[in-house]
Amino acid sequence: MKIFKIILFGILLLFITGFSVLATINLPKLDIISGYSAKMMNSSVFVAQRAPEYTDSTDVNMDLVRLADDRVDYENASTEADVYGLKKRTAIYREGLGSVLINDDYDPDIPYLQPKRSVASDTISFPYGNGKPQDTIFSHIDYKELDKVVESAFDSISKTRSVLVVYKDHIIAEKYAEGFNENSLLLGWSMTKSILSTLYGILQYEGKLNIHDVTGLKEWQEDERKEITYNHLLHMSSGLEWEEDYSKISDATKMLFLEADMSHSQLIKPLVAEPESVFNYSSGTTNLLSGILKREFKDQQSYLDFPYTHLLDKISMNSALIEADLESNYVGSSYGWANTRDWAKFGLLYLHKGNWNGDQIFDHYWAEYVSTPAKASKGRYGAQFWLNAEGYMPDVPRDVYYADGFQGQRVFIIPSHDMVVVRMGLDHLDFNSFLKGIIDAVDVSWVSEVR
């Protein structure tokens, strides 16, 4: 009887605790909480091949999201999540397209297309293939100091998963957290925006479009939005209304965790400012660009193939995967995966101004375009890349530009030092000190110059 009372008391306490928590959260927000948890669990298990228990303790172990309870169905490659039994959401894995949240209209019997892939040779050394990197020692590098700086990133606060430093096309430092290695897939979050931008650079190089032209969207032809150009969108300076806030129900969270067609969310927003007059960071804008991109192709298969045939597989980023929404639009804002070495290859492509081992992927001018400040950004943003043009990081070169993702995902391109630095993790670093330490250890002339 005593044991029964203890169990009953425990259930009552759990109910009271759950009720008090839910009282502070409205039901629509639960949709997003359980949606985030189901989606991240599915991607972690079926894309990155991690254990559900690990994901529970890391990627979905954050404020409010940790309230969700997850279940994994390996047979159907699906995951479910709910909060105290409320607002159950389901995500599924689709081969070639990654993980996606489904809705009541989803029909699992309808076939879907997937991108065609190719794999680079594993006999060609990094970075131009997937073979073992060449061992090269540079006499002027202080390797002991370099290793010390890299090691400093792996503390319990920053939760770094990997760091890779490439100098003159050679890996000079590489470290992984326990449980990770050079083959581990890591989510770039908004670094995917830089990949999406690059696809426009390729189309421009091929003469398929001019980024300074208006988009020609039929939905905008009856109002002032018809004057918006690709350039305005790439610069996050379209003047369209958008709220990018992940702490509440916002345009961004509704798009990522409620919408079946993420390219539509920004499309329907009104103009609230003159194009190029205001910088407003918008994941909706990038997904709109992904939707617009589809118009450049004769069919869905060609659209799905393009990022791989013309960019990712072409530069041997064979581990890379861009997940798609329920309508098979690439989620260019947020859902790009790759291993750390492949993320570095992306940075090296820009370091070499679009030239990949003699093959010009995009015009050299494109690297200058994406790293030139957008008029309204106050020197902080180019074309889907972040910049250090105004010394936001005061102790590193002003020519640094980078792909930037949630929780401190970074691919830094440092042209003045012929270097690319990749960092992946679950929290931010002091990137100013981190990069300065790496550059100081590698380039003695820079040390004397800055001191």
- What is each CA distance from 25 to 5, 18, 387, in whole angstroms? 30, 11, 37
> Rounded to the nearest 5 degrees, what angle is found at the Cα of 81, between the Cα atoms of 328 and 424?
65
Looking at the domain 163-450, which fold is it? Beta-lactamase (3.40.710)
Q: Domain boundaries in the chain?
A: 2-101, 163-450
Q: What is the pLDDT of residue 446?
A: 64
Q: What is the pLDDT of residue 24?
A: 53
Q: What is the pLDDT of residue 11?
A: 43
42 within 8 A of 99, measured Cβ to Cβ: yes
At 236 the three-state DSSP class reads coil
At 434 the three-state DSSP class reads helix
Q: What is the pLDDT of residue 120?
A: 77
Residue range 252-277, pLDDT digits in tens: 999 999 999 999 999 999 999 999 99
333 within 8 A of 192, measured Cβ to Cβ: yes
Cβ-based neighbour number of residue 364 at 10 Å: 13
Q: What is the pLDDT of residue 113?
A: 98
Give dist(CA 185, CA 341) in Å, integer.
10
Q: What is the pLDDT of residue 121?
A: 75
Q: What is the pLDDT of residue 239?
A: 98
The sign of the dihedral angle between the CA atoms of 58, 60, 65, 68 is negative
Q: Return the half-sphere exposure (C-beta side, CA atoms, 13 A cut-off) of residue 413.
A: 27
Residues of the chain falling short of pLDDT 70: 1-25, 444, 446-451
Residue range 67-103, pLDDT digits in tens: 999 999 999 999 999 999 999 999 999 999 999 999 9
Q: Which residues of 103-120 are buried (b: 16+ CB within 10 A; e: fewer)?
A: eeeeeeeeeebbbeeeeb
**Of 378, 419, 374, 423, residue with least CA distance to 400:** 419
